[in-house]
């Protein structure tokens, strides 16, 4: 088993004085998973003597934390016991490490999101409860001189798009393209997603995604999975979209994956299957949120069908079902926030989904070129860990214009059949 040698571990604080006080968190922040989101960025070796040097990375991180000062704080509680961010300026955990087991090429050939890779490339994190730190970073140098930048950011304070904005800002400062001013100013006003006053509070939808499933999820099987990264070429993506006329790339890819997952699981045609997704509401709200909103602005959505409907119909039909799960607008989001005002967010389902279901998330909006710290764009960026079986990310494939990476986790006994079916469908697209 590969091992990593930790060389240093310290706190990096903002380069200048930053505001103190607390930041209120919205119902969407509290309804998300209470934990850290680990991701990794892989970088090719570089002969520059300053390539990911400890001093330069700490300096640029400290300057990025001036604008993103809440990250240097701690998760806290207000007087009523509600979770908030305490802006203390205590800093983020910064670790340097060395792994002589892998070259970058070897690591990329072997890497899939899993517990072993997370433990190797991302710093260990504490229990995600107050008063915990909010960001942990690790720079790991490989045998060939390549570098992995691993990070774990607390999900209660920000979603994937907000986290990407921070790393794009840090990268911009590192490569000398900014003096500390973010490309997009962050907005920490989470009251923009507060529930409406009691007199006008309106719950128009059922919001089943925030209620326990009728079929209990086995926590042991939910955390036992096999994961895979499958690349779709631009030609395959284009051919699939042509079969799903009018569907977005994400919806077309998820539709095909959903069909193949249902087949691989050999589910009865009469069984119900639910496709869950996460929808970024920043631009969909009326009025829209600021582009730099730094918080959780995504909502869980879903659509249900029978397995027979999903697998026996053309893929365009499954794509239309996916559209139904991802087309919610402002009123749906406001209804959800009002609904969450009346429930105990600590008791919301977070442990996994039943075996018949799938959860799909788009990371296609994350620009790899913006994560260039001065030595080129990452060779790969993705999740370091999958949370449970039945999770799918759709991302842009690095260095391949128009290609996509499908990252997914399934039950270990299901994955071989899924890979076989998905590969067959991709081959058919090229006929």
Question: Which phi and psi angles does 263 have, rounded to 5°?
Answer: -65, -45
In 6-103, alpha helices (H): 27-31, 54-67
Q: Could you give the C-alpha distances from 286 to 143, 325, 335, in angstroms and in order?
A: 51, 20, 13
- Residue 235: CB atoms within 10 A of its CB come to 13
Strand-pair category, 391-396 with 74-77: unpaired
Candidates 225, 250, 257, 259; CA nearest to 353 is 225
Distances (CA, A) of 378 to 112, 336, 372: 16, 37, 7
Residue 431 pairs in a beta bridge with: none
Residue 190 appears among annotated catalytic residues: no
End-to-end CA distance of the chain: 42
Strands (E), 281-401: 298-306, 358-362, 380-383, 391-396
Q: Is 372 a catalytic residue?
A: yes
What are the backbone dihedrals phi and psi of residue 133, each rounded to the nearest 5 degrees, phi first? Answer: -70, 160
> Residue 147's beta-bridge partner residues?
43, 141
Q: What share of the chain is helix, strand, coil (3-state, %, to 5)?
A: 35, 25, 45
Closest CA to 281 of 271, 269, 295: 295
86, 159, 338, 372: the catalytic one is: 372
Catalytic residue among 155, 190, 207, 357: 155
Which residues are catalytic, by number?
Answer: 155, 372
């Amino acid at each position: 088993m590969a091992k990593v040698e930790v060389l240093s571990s310290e706190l990096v604080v903002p380069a200048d004085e930053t505001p103190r006080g607390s930041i209120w968190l919205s119902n969407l922040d509290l309804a998300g998973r209470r934990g850290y989101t680990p991701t990794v960025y892989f970088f090719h070796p570089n002969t520059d003597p300053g390539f990911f040097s400890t001093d330069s990375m700490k300096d640029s991180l400290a300057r990025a934390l001036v604008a993103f000062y809440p990250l240097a704080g701690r998760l806290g509680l207000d007087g009523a016991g509600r979770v908030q961010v305490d802006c203390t300026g205590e800093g983020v955990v910064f670790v340097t490490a060395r792994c002589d087991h892998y070259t970058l090429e070897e690591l990329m050939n072997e890497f899939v999101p899993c517990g072993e890779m997370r433990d190797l490339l991302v710093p260990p994190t504490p229990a995600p409860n107050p008063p915990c730190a909010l960001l942990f970073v690790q720079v790991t140098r490989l045998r060939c001189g390549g570098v992995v930048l691993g990070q774990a950011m607390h999900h209660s304070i920000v979603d994937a798009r907000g986290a990407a904005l921070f790393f794009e800002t840090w990268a911009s400062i590192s490569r000398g393209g900014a003096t500390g001013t973010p490309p997009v100013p962050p907005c920490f006003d989470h009251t923009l997603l507060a529930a409406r006053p009691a007199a006008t509070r309106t719950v128009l939808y059922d919001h089943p995604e925030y209620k326990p499933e009728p079929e209990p999820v086995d926590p042991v099987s939910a955390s036992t999975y096999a994961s895979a990264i499958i690349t779709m070429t631009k030609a395959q993506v284009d051919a699939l979209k042509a079969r799903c006329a009018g569907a977005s790339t994400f919806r077309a890819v998820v539709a095909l994956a959903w069909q193949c997952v249902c087949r691989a699981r050999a589910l009865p045609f009469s069984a119900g299957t639910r496709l869950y997704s996460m929808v970024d509401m920043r631009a969909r709200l009326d009025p829209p949120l600021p582009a730099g909103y730094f918080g959780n602005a995504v909502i869980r959505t879903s659509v249900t069908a029978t397995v027979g409907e999903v697998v026996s119909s053309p893929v365009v039909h499954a794509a239309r079902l996916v559209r139904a799960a991802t087309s919610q607008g402002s009123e749906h989001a406001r209804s959800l926030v009002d609904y969450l005002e009346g429930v105990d967010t600590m008791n919301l389902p977070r442990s996994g989904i039943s075996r018949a279901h799938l959860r799909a998330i788009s990371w296609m909006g994350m620009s790899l070129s913006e994560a260039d710290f001065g030595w080129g764009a990452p060779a790969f960026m993705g999740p370091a860990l999958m949370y449970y079986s039945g999770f799918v990310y759709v991302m842009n494939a690095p260095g391949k214009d128009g290609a996509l990476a499908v990252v997914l986790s399934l039950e270990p006994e299901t994955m071989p059949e899924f890979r076989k079916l998905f590969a067959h469908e991709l081959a058919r697209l090229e006929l």
